[in-house]
Chain A
Amino acid sequence: MTSALANPPRLSVRDLSIGNRTAFVHRVSFDVRAGRILAMVGESGSGKTLIGRSILRLLPENIHQLGGSILYHGRELSGLSRHEIRQLRGGRIGMVFQEPLVSLNPALRIGTQMAEGLKLHLKLGPDEIRGRCVEMLKRIHVPRPEECLAAYPHQFSGGMRQRIMLASVMLLRPDLLIADEPTTALDTLSQREVIETMLELTREVGTSVLLITHNLGLVGKYADDAVVLGRGEIVENGTASEVIGRPRHPYTRRLVGSLPHRRIAAAAPAGEPILVARGLELSFRVTSRSILQAKRIRVLRGVSLTVRRGETVAVVGGSGSGKTTLGRALLRLIDVDHGSIEYRSTDVTRWSDRRLHSFRRACQIVFQDPFSSLDPRMSVDALVGEALRHAGPLTPAERQARIETALSEVGLPGHAGRLPHQLSGGQRQRVALARAIVGDPELLVADEPIAALDMTVQKQILELFQRLQAQRGFACIFISHDLAAVQQIAHRIVVMHEGRIVEEGPTDAIFENPRHEYTQRLLAASPLLEAVSPSASQAAVLSEVEQ
Chain B
Amino acid sequence: MTARLDSRSRLRLLAGGLLGAIVLALSIVAIFWTPLDPNRLDVLHRLNAPDIRNLFGTDEFGRDVLSRAMTGGTTSLTVAILTVAAAIAVGSTIGFLTGFFRGWTDRLVMILNDTLLAFPGILLALGLSAVMGPRKYGTVLALSVAYTPKVMRVVRGTVMSLREREYIEASRALGNGPVYTLVRHIVPNAVAPIAVLATAMFGWAILMESALSFLGLGVPPPAATWGNMLATARPYLTSAPWLSVIPGMLIAATLLSVNLLGDSLRDWLDPRM
Residues on A close to B: CB < 8 A? 331, 333, 353-354, 356-357, 360-361, 364-365, 367, 369, 372-377, 386-387, 389-390, 419, 421, 432, 435
Instruction: Indicate if B176 sits at the interface (CB-CB under 8 A).
Output: yes
The complex places the Cα of A435 from the Cα of B174 at a distance, in Å, of 9
Known: A367-B169, A367-B170, A389-B180. 16 other contacts (CB 8 A): A333-B172, A333-B173, A353-B178, A356-B175, A360-B173, A364-B174, A367-B166, A373-B166, A373-B169, A375-B171, A375-B184, A375-B185, A375-B189, A389-B175, A390-B176, A419-B271
Contact B175 A365 (CB under 8 A): no
Chain A nearest Cβ from B15, distance in angstroms: 25
Give 8 A-B contacts (CB < 8 Å), ordered by A residue: A333-B169, A365-B169, A367-B166, A367-B169, A374-B170, A375-B188, A386-B174, A389-B174
Chain A nearest Cβ from B144, distance in angstroms: 29
Chain A nearest Cβ from B269, distance in angstroms: 9
A-B pair count, CB < 8 Å, reads 62
Chain B nearest Cβ from A421, distance in angstroms: 5
Contact A361 B175 (CB under 8 A): yes
The complex places the Cα of A317 from the Cα of B102 at a distance, in Å, of 33
Partner of A390, one of B174, B188, B189: B174
Q: Which 5 A-B pairs have the closest CB atoms?
A: A360-B175, A373-B166, A372-B166, A390-B175, A375-B167
Chain A nearest Cβ from B51, distance in angstroms: 53
Instruction: Indicate if B8 sits at the interface (CB-CB under 8 A).
Output: no
Q: Determine the chain B residues whose CB is within 8 A of the CB of A353 once the complex forms.
A: 172, 177-178
Chain B residues 155 to 175 lying within 8 A of chain A, measured CB to CB, are 165-167, 169-175
Contact B173 A389 (CB under 8 A): no
Known: A369-B166, A377-B271, A421-B271. A364 touches B173 (CB 8 A): yes
Chain B residues 75 to 109 lying within 8 A of chain A, measured CB to CB, are none
Contact B189 A377 (CB under 8 A): yes
The complex places the Cα of A353 from the Cα of B185 at a distance, in Å, of 18
Residues on B close to A: CB < 8 A? 165-167, 169-178, 180, 184-185, 188-189, 271-272
Partner of B176, one of A367, A372, A389, A432: A389
Q: Determine the chain A residues whose CB is within 8 A of the CB of B171 once the complex forms.
A: 375, 386
Q: Determine the chain A residues whose CB is within 8 A of the CB of B180 once the complex forms.
A: 389
The complex places the Cα of A361 from the Cα of B174 at a distance, in Å, of 6
Q: Determine the chain A residues whose CB is within 8 A of the CB of B177 once the complex forms.
A: 353-354
Q: Determine the chain A residues whose CB is within 8 A of the CB of B178 once the complex forms.
A: 353
Known: A369-B166, A372-B167, A376-B189. A331 touches B272 (CB 8 A): no
Q: Determine the chain B residues whose CB is within 8 A of the CB of A364 once the complex forms.
A: 173-174
Query: Interface majority SS on B: helix, strand, loop or mixed?
Result: helix
User: Which one of A333, A364, A389 has the highest number of Cβ atoms from chain B below 10 Å of its Cβ?
Assistant: A389
Partner of B165, one of A331, A372, A389: A372
Q: Determine the chain B residues whose CB is within 8 A of the CB of A357 once the complex forms.
A: 175
The complex places the Cα of A357 from the Cα of B172 at a distance, in Å, of 10
Q: Determine the chain B residues whose CB is within 8 A of the CB of A375 once the complex forms.
A: 167, 171, 184-185, 188-189
Q: Determine the chain A residues whose CB is within 8 A of the CB of B189 once the complex forms.
A: 375-377
The complex places the Cα of A373 from the Cα of B171 at a distance, in Å, of 9
Q: Determine the chain B residues whose CB is within 8 A of the CB of A389 once the complex forms.
A: 174-176, 180
The complex places the Cα of A386 from the Cα of B169 at a distance, in Å, of 14
The complex places the Cα of A435 from the Cα of B173 at a distance, in Å, of 11
Chain A nearest Cβ from B218, distance in angstroms: 40
Partner of A373, one of B170, B175, B184, B188: B170
With both beta carbons as reference points, the residue of chain B lying nearest to A371 in the complex is identified as: B166
The complex places the Cα of A375 from the Cα of B174 at a distance, in Å, of 13
Contact A376 B271 (CB under 8 A): yes
The complex places the Cα of A374 from the Cα of B173 at a distance, in Å, of 13
With both beta carbons as reference points, the residue of chain B lying nearest to A421 in the complex is identified as: B272
With both beta carbons as reference points, the residue of chain B lying nearest to A387 in the complex is identified as: B174
With both beta carbons as reference points, the residue of chain B lying nearest to A376 in the complex is identified as: B271
The complex places the Cα of A331 from the Cα of B175 at a distance, in Å, of 11
With both beta carbons as reference points, the residue of chain A lying nearest to B166 in the complex is identified as: A373
Chain B nearest Cβ from A378, distance in angstroms: 8
Q: Determine the chain A residues whose CB is within 8 A of the CB of B173 once the complex forms.
A: 331, 333, 360, 364-365
Partner of A376, one of B172, B174, B184, B272: B272
The complex places the Cα of A421 from the Cα of B189 at a distance, in Å, of 14
Contact B272 A386 (CB under 8 A): no
With both beta carbons as reference points, the residue of chain B lying nearest to A366 in the complex is identified as: B170
Chain A nearest Cβ from B54, distance in angstroms: 52
Known: A419-B271, A421-B271. A374 touches B167 (CB 8 A): yes
Q: Determine the chain A residues whose CB is within 8 A of the CB of B172 once the complex forms.
A: 333, 353
The complex places the Cα of A374 from the Cα of B272 at a distance, in Å, of 14
Q: Determine the chain B residues whose CB is within 8 A of the CB of A387 once the complex forms.
A: 174
The complex places the Cα of A39 from the Cα of B169 at a distance, in Å, of 39
Partner of A386, one of B165, B176, B188, B271: B176
The complex places the Cα of A308 from the Cα of B188 at a distance, in Å, of 39
The complex places the Cα of A356 from the Cα of B172 at a distance, in Å, of 11
Q: Determine the chain B residues whose CB is within 8 A of the CB of A377 once the complex forms.
A: 188-189, 271
Q: Determine the chain B residues whose CB is within 8 A of the CB of A435 once the complex forms.
A: 170, 174
The complex places the Cα of A383 from the Cα of B166 at a distance, in Å, of 13
Chain B nearest Cβ from A535, distance in angstroms: 39
Contact B174 A360 (CB under 8 A): yes
Q: Determine the chain A residues whose CB is within 8 A of the CB of B184 once the complex forms.
A: 375, 386
The complex places the Cα of A386 from the Cα of B188 at a distance, in Å, of 15
The complex places the Cα of A386 from the Cα of B173 at a distance, in Å, of 11
The complex places the Cα of A377 from the Cα of B173 at a distance, in Å, of 19
Q: Determine the chain B residues whose CB is within 8 A of the CB of A360 once the complex forms.
A: 173-175
User: Which one of B171, B185, B271 has the highest number of Cβ atoms from chain A below 10 Å of its Cβ?
Assistant: B271
Q: Determine the chain A residues whose CB is within 8 A of the CB of B188 once the complex forms.
A: 375, 377
The complex places the Cα of A354 from the Cα of B176 at a distance, in Å, of 9
The complex places the Cα of A376 from the Cα of B188 at a distance, in Å, of 10
With both beta carbons as reference points, the residue of chain B lying nearest to A382 in the complex is identified as: B184
Chain B nearest Cβ from A517, distance in angstroms: 34
